Chains A and B, each alone.
Chain A
Amino acid sequence: MAGGLDYLVFFAVVALTFSLHTLGLNLQWGLTGLFNVGIAGFAAIGAYASALLTGPDWPGSLGGLGLPVAIGWTGAMLASGVAALAVGALTLRLRQDHLAIATFGVAVVIQLLAQNLEPLTGGAFGLASLPRPLAGLELGSSARNALFLLILAGLVLLAWAALARLTAGPWGRVLRAIREDETAAAALGKSPFRHRLEAFVIGAALMGLGGAVYAHFIGFVAPQDFQAILTFQVWAMLIVGGSGSHAGAILGGILVWAVWTASGTLLDLVLPATFQVRGAALQIVLIGLALIAILLWRPQGLIAERPGGRPRRGER
């Protein structure tokens, strides 16, 4: 039984790190209509920033600073936020798709740097031995994971509450107004560019935090954890949960991760060992098809945006 509970805690931690990503994407896409295809890149920036701030002195590299985890996670949010500020300042005045292409470029370049800039990132092997928060407490491994889950759940609730407060107020109303009719919002004296940039930066900071939290949970950071598939997973989660709704974003993260792990386990059981690589690819094909089907037939997701937002086109 203890094994089952341990697994549940493990599952919940990973699902909730995804929820941090989906909350960030919900602010960017769900509420502001900004298309970010570089989620993996922003998550990686956060993860590596935190690793460098908190990690030990790795041999053969520039080394970590050994600072407390809280500082690492704050640094992660700052680093991803600054990267988003640069990309956003450059592209948010241009046509929408240019932001998508630029964020895609960020993800590709971050992946290249992670793979190749060995003195800083440890290359393909990444950086290991990252500390857990409150590592000083003498605890068994189950208790350590449960503690981590508590801290993470607190972070997700905090992010949720902060976002709900922000987006329910005047700032959120301007975001929705811009998403629906930019010209009208601008005519009322609201700067679409500034509001978009703010939403983009805050969203990216949450993605950076999600990347850092995940890295500290598994204890290392490596390039293969930040590939296009991560971006896709987060999009799938937000769309399934319901773009525009914070609760939907969190729920979508948990639900899609459950489907993802369950289908992965199932394929592992069914397929022979020699077919594992193709099995993993098959899983992505199937879930990708499911996502496209949802986009076509239920674009509002499980939890639709609450009234006061707009009626989605698909509901009319």
Chain B
Amino acid sequence: MILQYLGDGLVQGAMIGLGAVGLTLTYAVLRFANFAHGELLTIGAYAALSVLWLVVPWLGTAALAPFSFGWALIVALPAALAVTCATALLLDRLVLARLRAGAAAMTVVIASFGAALVLRHLVVVLYGPQPDYYTRAIQVALPLVPREVLGGLRLAPEQILVVLVTLGVATALHLVLTRTDTGRAMRALAENPQLAAIAGIDARTVVRRVWLIGAGLAGLAGVLQGLTVQVRPQLGFDLLLPVFAAAILGGIGSPPGALAGGLIVGIAESLAVPLAGAEYRQAVSFVVLILVLLLRPHGLFGRAP
């Protein structure tokens, strides 16, 4: 069974990693832990659900083999990402940016905690507390490794897609951050805001792009979570601790670190299931978090202050 636990952990870890990459960027550039980041995942998942309801009458529910979803979800994805990005920009414009500029820096963290609660319960008000699904079609797991080898491995095509999409997006992001002016400006702003300003970097533009990337990745993670698990109001809140643990494990400000952190947390959670039971999954992230803070507080890829 070990191979199956590793495979399931890899899939979940990829989604945690996507969330953590966005979080680590906003944490490094904007200098605060955004407790509303989990809700960006939830909003992405629900925005896709709403668009899906709108477009299914035109596009139908016919699935694209071997997947359980059809064109409708592919159309819904970019719309969902746009909604997530718009939410993040609006939240920043109306609340977070004002607090960052004015009051004691830490009030922005309370504001993000409050905003998270507001958004999470707004979802309940609009959609109700029950879980939803993008498609009622059954996701059939493909046998990838026969049962004789370490218990075998079966993954649904959607789960394989999650891993591939995550790797593709992470590679593209890495290129953007290391090879383009935007990426260099982000790193400069994270490193030293005063010096970046002197060098002629427009902080507002960079901050906007950081939110777009962070929220876009969060929205994507939310849609993938909705596709492979289910869409529910607690979706993002339940992933917040794993996402924080992954970002800190990877080292704040390191996107590759956050992705690696996500995979490690996901696999650790999965391996803990046969030992401690599925109900203690989230406690694993806490243990990871405590171990990192104890042994290597700047994370695997972060630099010591």
A residues with CB within 8 A of B: 33, 35, 37, 90-91, 94-98, 100-102, 104-106, 108-109, 112-113, 115-116, 228-229, 231-232, 235-236, 239, 277-278, 281-282, 284-285, 288-289, 291-292, 295-296, 299, 312-314
Give A30 Cβ to nearest chain B Cβ, in Å: 11
Q: Are A296 and B124 in contact (CB under 8 A)?
A: no
Chain B residues near A33: list those with CB within 8 A.
104, 106
Kindly name the residue among A105, A228, A289 whose own CB sees the greatest number of chain B CB atoms within 10 A.
A105
Find B290's partner among A97, A102, A296 (CB 8 Å cutoff): A102
**Chain B interface: which size bin?**
35 or more
Interface of B is mostly: helix
List residues 241-298 of chain B with CB under 8 A from any CB of chain A: 241, 244-245, 248, 277, 279-280, 282-283, 285-286, 289-290, 293-294, 297
Q: Are B114 and A291 in contact (CB under 8 A)?
A: yes
Chain B residues near A101: list those with CB within 8 A.
33, 244, 248, 289
Find A108's partner among B27, B95, B286 (CB 8 Å cutoff): B286
B residues with CB within 8 A of A: 27, 32-33, 35, 95, 98-99, 102-104, 106-107, 109-111, 113-115, 117-118, 121-122, 124-125, 128-129, 237, 240-241, 244-245, 248, 277, 279-280, 282-283, 285-286, 289-290, 293-294, 297, 305
Find A90's partner among B99, B279, B294, B305 (CB 8 Å cutoff): B294
Give A219 Cβ to nearest chain B Cβ, in Å: 27
Find A295's partner among B32, B111, B245 (CB 8 Å cutoff): B111
Docked pose: A121 CA to B285 CA in angstroms: 22
Chain B residues near A314: list those with CB within 8 A.
102-103
Residue of B at shortest CB range from A91? B293
Find A232's partner among B102, B114, B129 (CB 8 Å cutoff): B114
Interface of A is mostly: helix
Q: A35-B110, A97-B109, A113-B283 known; 10 other A-B pairs, CB under 8 Å? A: A37-B113, A94-B293, A102-B290, A104-B240, A108-B241, A116-B279, A235-B113, A239-B110, A285-B118, A285-B125
Given the interface pairs A115-B279, A295-B110, A296-B95, the reply to whether A288 lies near B115 with Cβ below 8 Å is: yes
Chain A residues near B98: list those with CB within 8 A.
296
Give B305 Cβ to nearest chain A Cβ, in Å: 8
Docked pose: A210 CA to B112 CA in angstroms: 25
Q: Are A35 and B109 in contact (CB under 8 A)?
A: yes
Q: Are B282 and A108 in contact (CB under 8 A)?
A: yes
Q: Are A281 and B293 in contact (CB under 8 A)?
A: no
Chain B residues near A115: list those with CB within 8 A.
279
Q: Are A104 and B241 in contact (CB under 8 A)?
A: yes
Kindly name the residue among B35, B106, B121, B240 whose own CB sees the greatest number of chain A CB atoms within 10 A.
B121
Q: Are A288 and B107 in contact (CB under 8 A)?
A: no
Residue of B at shortest CB range from A236? B114
Docked pose: A291 CA to B95 CA in angstroms: 11
Chain A residues near B35: list those with CB within 8 A.
37, 100, 104
Q: Are B114 and A235 in contact (CB under 8 A)?
A: yes
Find A235's partner among B32, B110, B118, B125 (CB 8 Å cutoff): B110
Docked pose: A231 CA to B245 CA in angstroms: 21
Q: Are A232 and B117 in contact (CB under 8 A)?
A: yes
Q: Are A112 and B125 in contact (CB under 8 A)?
A: no
Q: Are A105 and B99 in contact (CB under 8 A)?
A: no
Chain B residues near A113: list those with CB within 8 A.
283
Docked pose: A229 CA to B120 CA in angstroms: 11
Chain A residues near B129: list those with CB within 8 A.
277-278, 281
Find A109's partner among B104, B237, B286 (CB 8 Å cutoff): B286
Chain A residues near B282: list those with CB within 8 A.
108-109, 112
Give B216 Cβ to nearest chain A Cβ, in Å: 23
Give B209 Cβ to nearest chain A Cβ, in Å: 22
